[in-house]
Structure 1
């Protein structure tokens, strides 16, 4: 039975094992050939002395090229000089597939490639140990997030991604033809997860794509992203922040405990606070205003976020935002301030959330104040007529959180096949 390279240790000296993977490199030195075999878990050295393996097998091994796919049956040999203290003496080698050469990029990373070249050839780029480390960490984070939700009594749901109206009243929508009707790709599960609060499911979460037709070319935006969304009944903004803090800190600790190898490959030292600080919008403005011009009621510009990020240095919440710059469903704290919050890491926004309006008349009034028509939200508003409890929730960007966990500067590195203004393939 095939095993992974990580399972082969010096204490298996003398055992016969079967491995399969890609040829990472080949080095022939006269009557001796060294092959580095790579699989998902790492690499191992295969040493083929002509005298020991025989003429036919030696010739086959010597013919191997980079990225050929092979299966190897061999004897484990403990050797302090070998990488990892162990190597394989091959007894059988089966060539499962040959790779066409020259390769469009080098998975061994001896020759660097630009990001566009890497993304154009993502199947090859993903063979790199550093790139695989990103997605193993991402997987660990998502597992941790789900584990926390289940422990906290949440139910996983799936809401529609083909929708009839926008979530927040913006124009950043992808219209599509839905038979004889106009439809859109969903910006957010917001309206549906709120409606579910009227169902009695009480606590729900969803991890799914969202789509934003924003015409940007930044390192932190994508037009298709994965959002981690929750909604909690009988809860306020503080309850939602407490849950978000728990989710984030659990994920940080789980990645630290379970993905040490991948963090080391990427050279990342995780920043894991004991708790996440909270500052109000007004307090944030006091920090910003001496360096960047800003008026009360303004959203934070990139320059303002950078100033604030330098001051705060880690994870922090910004609370009590002006109502006029928050979505219509935000519960007012008073006439000017909403029960809304953002989670930041330095100058990067990771999450946005709030306590929602659960009162029908107040919600209709808020929709109108935003210049929207309540008629466009009829299906949504119906849920508020028949006993909607107070509720709160948030959305956390999985791709941006992965950026923080892996120390990447460009969000495209944290998505298998990113979608932006220029990229629709592969």
Structure 2
């Protein structure tokens, strides 16, 4: 007999079914035993009356431990008295496929959750939590929707190398390694290679892949291994084309998530998916600084970028004025931007940050596609052009005007679900003090 997922059981009332699952709960009473089974799709009650006919089953259940795995065959019955979906399985066979140790190192039913680091030590148990199960199902929908949108628009998916020569394009700390006697590093972004795709005539590309940052940061927003989501498009007239595409794409992703799991997200996390009917406001950097001063009397020591507090205040302002969780901040001073950003005649970069619920989740820009200007801007940033000669050469044989964006998947998921720590939204977190499991 084939296994049936618990979510599909309601198609088999009064029929024999087979369920393979974890033991979620056990109640052993005087005349009856109740076992709650849990698989990745849901939960179901198994009911065993204590009688002579069921003595072997009663013995098995009497020795069961929580989180053991079982293979159960029985008749599915409708029973409105059962609070769990109004159904129960009356078993004819129970096989314990693995028996769990009786004492679990963490309490996976603890609504307040155990200490985070302990849960990370036993992540394989922590991930059995109902909320974690739902979260990663939601992330799957998000990733699928991202790809679905881009593929429908004619984008090509690329897989850029993660072992690289030369310096990091943003000056970030990198993990160095010995590559057959040559110095190499793990990629901290696919920036150079997605731009190479523009020079190759690919027109529109995206990549969803790991990236590595050797930063000894212990904040709630940083990790040493992340999944980056990147896109690049050719033949743009301005950076507005990039923002238009990203806004349309994000709205598509959020709508798909709402349609698929909106009800469950509300019930489990008490979170509403952001409103997608409102156009994302666009505010220049200088205007944003004025808003902070005039509305919040807040003046930062950072003159060419934002502090985290400023991002929070700007999002509060935009939420109240426009009812939007998102806002594009444009026209950053070139001093705070990468050398490959296109600069306008007033010395501002044709770039933007996308803020979402109080934090920057994306940096995007029109790129500088003229090799002579690109080389000059690299020198201005203190980068030896020879160290990135392979990159500058991409643009010597014709390259369309282009732009794109990139961001960390985990940061987006944190803000969608209003979690306060990247460790909660990462399958297996990597940080300065975390290399296992």
Q: Report Cα offsets for 1:310-357 as digits up to 9, x if no partner.
A: 212311111111111100000012241011011111321111110000
Q: 1:373 aligns with which of 361, 378, 384?
A: 384
User: Is contact 2:77-2:87 (8 Å) kept?
Assistant: yes
Q: Which residue of 1 aligns with 2:244?
A: 242
How much does 1:41 deviate?
Answer: 0.9
Residues 117 and 182 (structure 1), Cα distance of their counterparts in 2 relative to 1, 3 Å cut: same
SS of the residue corresponding to residue 225 of structure 1 reads: strand
Q: Which residue of 2 aligns with 1:230?
A: 231
CA distance in 1, matches of 2:399, 2:189: 20
User: Is contact 1:136-1:262 (8 Å) kept?
Assistant: no
SS of the residue corresponding to residue 218 of structure 2 reads: coil
Q: Report Cα offsets for 1:43-90 as digits up to 9, x if no partner.
A: 111110022852112211222110110011111111112111111111
User: Is contact 1:68-1:97 (8 Å) kept?
Assistant: yes
How much does 1:13 deviate?
Answer: 2.5
User: Is contact 2:13-2:76 (8 Å) kept?
Assistant: yes
Bigger mean CA offset, 287-296 vs 186-195: 287-296
Q: Which residue of 1 aligns with 2:147?
A: 146
How much does 1:132 deviate?
Answer: 1.1
TM-score (norm 2): 0.94
Unaligned runs of 5+ in 2: 320-324
User: Is contact 2:204-2:231 (8 Å) kept?
Assistant: yes
RMSD: 1.6
Q: Which residue of 2 aligns with 1:353?
A: 364
CA distance in 2, matches of 1:166, 1:92: 62
CA distance in 1, matches of 2:291, 2:185: 40
Bigger mean CA offset, 261-270 vs 413-422: 261-270
Q: 1:285 aligns with which of 276, 282, 289?
A: 289
CA distance in 2, matches of 1:349, 1:285: 15
Query: For residues 189-208 of structure 1, what are the structure 2 equivalents within 5 Å?
Result: 189-208=190-209
Residues 173 and 296 (structure 1), Cα distance of their counterparts in 2 relative to 1, 3 Å cut: closer
Q: Which residue of 1 aligns with 2:95?
A: 94
User: Is contact 2:213-2:224 (8 Å) kept?
Assistant: yes
Q: Report Cα offsets for 1:163-210 as digits up to 9, x if no partner.
A: 112333414211122221111111110011111111111111100011
Q: Which residue of 1 aligns with 2:318?
A: 312
Bigger mean CA offset, 196-205 vs 299-308: 299-308
Q: Which residue of 1 aligns with 2:71?
A: 71
User: Is contact 2:239-2:366 (8 Å) kept?
Assistant: yes
CA distance in 2, matches of 1:405, 1:88: 37
SS of the residue corresponding to residue 8 of structure 1 reads: helix
How much does 1:136 deviate?
Answer: 0.9
Q: Which residue of 2 aligns with 1:256?
A: 258
CA distance in 2, matches of 1:144, 1:343: 19
CA distance in 1, matches of 2:111, 2:304: 48
CA distance in 1, matches of 2:421, 2:222: 9
CA distance in 2, matches of 1:144, 1:173: 31
User: Is contact 2:165-2:185 (8 Å) kept?
Assistant: yes
CA distance in 2, matches of 1:261, 1:105: 28
Query: For residues 107-122 of structure 1, what are the structure 2 equivalents within 5 Å?
Result: 107-109=108-110, 112-122=113-123
Unaligned runs of 5+ in 1: none
SS of the residue corresponding to residue 51 of structure 2 reads: helix
CA distance in 1, matches of 2:88, 2:263: 20
SS of the residue corresponding to residue 85 of structure 2 reads: helix
Residues 111 and 296 (structure 1), Cα distance of their counterparts in 2 relative to 1, 3 Å cut: closer
How much does 1:407 deviate?
Answer: 2.2
1:39 aligns with 2:39: yes
Query: For residues 114-193 of structure 1, what are the structure 2 equivalents within 5 Å?
Result: 114-193=115-194
CA distance in 1, matches of 2:337, 2:8: 52
User: Is contact 1:133-1:266 (8 Å) kept?
Assistant: no
SS of the residue corresponding to residue 354 of structure 1 reads: strand
